[in-house]
Amino acid sequence: MRPKIYLFGDSITEESFCDGGWGSSLAHQFSRTMDVVLRGYSGYNTRWALKVVERVFPAELDSGVGRAPAAVTVFFGANDACLPDRCSGFQHVPVDEYKQNLRSIVSFLEKRWPEAIVVLISPPPIDENARLLHPFIENVLGLPERTNEAAGAYAKACIAVAGECGVPVVDLWTKMQQFPDWQKAYLRDGLHLSEGGNRIVFEEVIKKLKDAGLSLETLPVDLPHIAEIDPNDPLKAFQI
């Protein structure tokens, strides 16, 4: 069977299969070698993710040969970082709990699938002015529900957990801010990714997977390529 990579996260993962999304780019990259499976849940934080992780990845997935995934991306933190006294405060998770929740999610995945590559992705930076224009719910205070400073604290926590657990991590918060005009180049509403932002996530995830030994060069193609089929004897390529 083809190996799989699961994408587990919040809305930035859920919408990653849109045109130009980082998930759809991964599916295109591995179109003949690996299935990309979406498990994105808009609005979720790590507290909620930890509550449902066993339903997202039930034991039934392990039945049969070759069912363990090759990799799982875990992309939470943007909602945990909502400020508790602002309009999206119900999504807030304190940073220390966020770290513990991430550890627990990684531990669950590693116990379930010891050979799988788990890649953490930090929350992206926040454009606070743009968030004022795109509130999720009524914003009576007129203040952004997220700040870039808070997002940075959760990104730092994500990186710390990756170090503790010995798993690769994409520091999206830092990476995006290395470029000029990142607010408009990589974010479409101050939080969610533009096409350019999706491209960065795709490229960084590809790098982490390759560093861990998972790439087009290491994955077999599941069926003969058209170039391998003899025009004079096409069925020969399908003989086992």
Cα separation, 226 vs 49, in Å, equals 42
Q: Which of 10, 11, 16, 127 is catalytic?
A: 11
* SS3 state of residue 78: coil
CA distance linking residue 26 with residue 41, whole number of Å: 18
Put the strands of the sheet holding 71-75 in their side by side order.
Answer: 35-40, 4-9, 71-75, 117-121, 169-170
3-state DSSP call for residue 150?
helix
DSSP state of 104: H
DSSP 8-state symbol, 236? G
CA distances from 71 to 36, 128, 234 (A): 10, 33, 35
- Among the listed residues 42, 134, 171, 189, the single catalytic one is 189
Tokens of 118: 């788990």
Annotated catalytic residue 28 = no
Nearest to 214 by CA among 28, 69, 75, 25: 69
Residue 189 a catalytic site member: yes
> Going by C-beta distance under 8 Å and a sequence separation of 6 or more, which residues neighbour residue 28?
none
Burial label, 53 (beta-carbon count in 10 A; 0-12, 13-18, 19+): buried
Which residues are identified as catalytic? 11, 189, 192
